[in-house]
Amino acid sequence: MSEQDPGDASLAGGAIGYDLISGQALESKAWGIEEDLNDQQLRAVQLPVDANIQVIAGPGTGKTKTLVNRLLYILTEYNVPPEKVLVLTFTNRAIHIFRESLFKLAPAIAPQVEIHTFHSYCQSLISDHWEEVGLRPGWTVADDMDQEYILTEVIKETVGSHTTAREFRVLSNKLHTYKRSLLNKSAKRDSKLDEILTKYETRLAGCNMLDYDGILKLGYRLAEKYSKAPESDKNKYFSALLIDEFQDANLFQWDLTCLIAKGSASITIVGDPDQSIFSFQGASSNLLDIMKKQLSDVRTVVLTQNYRSSQEIVDAASAMIREDSHFLGDEQMPVGLFTGPKPIFKKSLDSTSETVWVANTIHHLTHKENVEPSSIAVLVRTNGRKDSVAAGLRQRGIEVAIYGPLSLLKSPYIRPLYSFLKFIQNFEQDIQLLYMLRNPNKILSPKQISEAQSFSRSRGLPLWEALQQNQLWLRQPTTRVNKSKKPHGPPDLDQFISVINKSADIIHSNVHDSESLVEGLQLVSQYLSWPTRYGDKAHVKQQELFDLITSIAPLLKDESTSLSSSLLAHTRLQDIAAKPGEVVVSTIHNAKGRLQHCLRRLGLRPRPRGSCFAGECWERRRNDSSAARGAAGSGAEPQPPEAPYRM
């Protein structure tokens, strides 16, 4: 496609774009573009539609705003239909933010634009062509809980049931890294890991499930196949690809992007190499150079005006980033638009004294400086540290809101209900049924479950049907009094089957109705007796689930999205919003992109772990600086008194 200047006469008078409010075609240039874009943002937005663009944008420089306006400019200035533009990013939260920004500017067009993570785009391909990749009807995606369950069973079979929890975590992490390195074609083969991986993938296939890496692999296979479609078939082609958070991409995802572009779509990426936190998944700043080598006429625009952080915060972060071997130069460093107090670096003897100092600081800010607690964040490196810090702050009388990663659906009080919902979508999903048979009530012993599985395999039946024919395989008690009665399963199993069937009937009677869904779940909850057994905690968590279902009631009417997928996506999007009076405690990873005015970062100099790979400690320092720029606001941090407080 030849480059067209937006001021070309062929476009000036009669270019028909889209009215982004009404969705109707109109004669207009740059309709919907925001007027307050700075010169750097405007340059990135108004480059020709066929230009390949790298927008280097640090935290607070308005990269999402720039990308959204670039999208609107392409639609209005070049008459590109919304369905011909694909936006790719890396998290559901990023999708939510992008779509929300787009909806504010163009509510009629926002639903028509495809906005995906790489995983969800591949999943959409698989949904359209599942037979071509060997899946059966009713295939589902194995979430984190499913994967952990299957992997645990496989490791027990391969390594032994005596594996400790720590050994399991180490082996699980190794396998995860190994799978990712296989995707990026950078792995050295490991026979032990290959054996575990083969069994794991075989078990997944037997359950008609794909894990997240499997989605990428099959999506890549389909994208590769359809990238060779004849050029005359224009319906399969995008005109433009927009990629947010490009610093988090790996080589596999870049290759996939090129397959999707098919050599005809322009590619615009927005990212900041200094914010990369996914090197453990293969993310590399070298992709910027690879993009320039593989694509022609790549334009680079640098956004340097930081609207979020004070100059003092920017200077502190920049001083660390300059030591990075991938440092791009001072001309690409952000500039703060306002000033504030300098950051404070406090050395502590240990984690306890560190927490004490933070508690004193927060107490001073809230009681002496009248700082609202919800504008204060404490960032830590690991989830384990997060809990201990929160406990220390609470002991000081400070109320705390903890940011995930634990989803509501992973709560032990909700997991059985979620497994039930996934199971009734497809009664052949043995993995969900196996979980329910052992959690929280022990319906069958491991030996009885093994007998049920043997019977189901010998008869070619799903496990659920085998359970309902339990009189054919389940050994009957020898103390049966009335032998003339028809044998039946143990009361617990009979009741379990009855409750599942009744609840499923209620939900399936109107599967898109939130009231029916809640009614069916309440029946299961009553059977589990959890509110009675565990008290308020279980009741509160289950009420949260019911409230969530009610809140997404309109989305349940979308037949293209499964119920469990809707719930999973929305629990991940749910941020635990700090209420007035609560201080936020979060890992650096979960805090990325959130805005807080006062920031406390603990563990700035982590002790190297045994698994520490070359460069990991340096990357942690880069993450610290990225978090400082990305999460900090004005940085208003008055020096607190040093008077010790003993817990």
User: Residue 110: what residue type?
Assistant: A
Q: Which residues contact 193 (CB under 8 A, 6 or more apart)?
A: 174, 175, 178
- Residue numbers in the known binding site are 57-64
Q: How far apart are CA 274 and CA 643, in angstroms?
A: 37
- The region, left, alpha or beta by phi > 0 then psi within -120 to 50, assigned to residue 62 is left
DSSP string, 225-241: HHTTS-TT-GGG--SEE
Q: What is the torsion angle, in degrees rounded to the nearest 10, for the CA atoms of residue 87, residue 299, residue 320 and residue 305?
A: -80
**Residue positions counted in the chain:** 647
Whether 288 and 274 have beta carbons less than 8 Å apart is answered as no
Q: How far apart are CA 406 and CA 402, in angstroms?
A: 10
Q: Which residues contact 402 (CB under 8 A, 6 or more apart)?
A: 386, 387, 390, 576, 584, 585, 586
DSSP structure class, residue 297: S
Q: How far apart are CA 256 and CA 244, in angstroms?
A: 15
Whether 269 and 51 have beta carbons less than 8 Å apart is answered as no
DSSP structure class, residue 209: E
Place of tokens 């719930």: 567
DSSP structure class, residue 404: -
Q: How far apart are CA 638 and CA 359, in angstroms?
A: 14
DSSP structure class, residue 4: -
> How far, in Å, are 14, 221, 631 from residue 436 at the CA level?
63, 35, 41
- Residue numbers in the known binding site for ATP are 57-64
Please count the other Cβ atoms lying within 10 Å of the Cβ belonging to residue 581: 12
